[in-house]
Amino acid sequence: EAQVTQNPRYLITVTGKKLTVTCSQNMNHEYMSWYRQDPGLGLRQIYYSMNVEVTDKGDVPEGYKVSRKEKRNFPLILESPSPNQTSLYFCASNPTGSNQPQHFGDGTRLSIL
């Protein structure tokens, strides 16, 4: 089954404790993206990647890091999480071309205390 898998689905942690949210897709897609979703603000793109070792900032990259060492994986790293990063996070992938629909994961709900 074609899918985008995020882990964990839920996480409660404390300020400053490094965490990684993993994202994996099994569709051999070149593009992958991370979004955060907050009430009243919709979905905002954090980082995106065109292919292995190629990443770029989205609209809200501050406080986040990403890496793309393999085509299928695109982890989101919070080196020193803060409460304002409490949010619902989505990973997405799609084939080459901006007019190709994105496939989204089921989301990761992070709470930073």
Partner 1 sequence: LAKTTQPISMDSYEGQEVNITCSHNNIATNDYIMWYQQFPSQGPRFIIQGYKTKVTNEVASLFIPADRKSSTLSLPRVSLSDTAVYYCLVGDVGSGGYQKVTFGTGTKLQVIP
**Interface with partner 1, residue 90, by CB under 8 A:** yes
Q: What is the DSSP string of the chain?
A: ---EEEE-SEEEE-TT--EEEEEEESS--SEEEEEEEETTTEEEEEEEEEETTEEEE-S--TT-EE--SSTTB--EEESS--GGG-EEEEEEEE-SSTTSPPEE---EEEEE-
**Interface with partner 1, residue 43, by CB under 8 A:** yes
**Interface with partner 1, residue 24, by CB under 8 A:** no
**Interface with partner 1, residue 40, by CB under 8 A:** yes
Question: What residues make contact with partner 1 under the rule CB under 8 A?
Answer: 4, 31, 33, 35, 40-45, 48, 50, 56, 58-59, 90, 92, 94, 96-99, 101-107
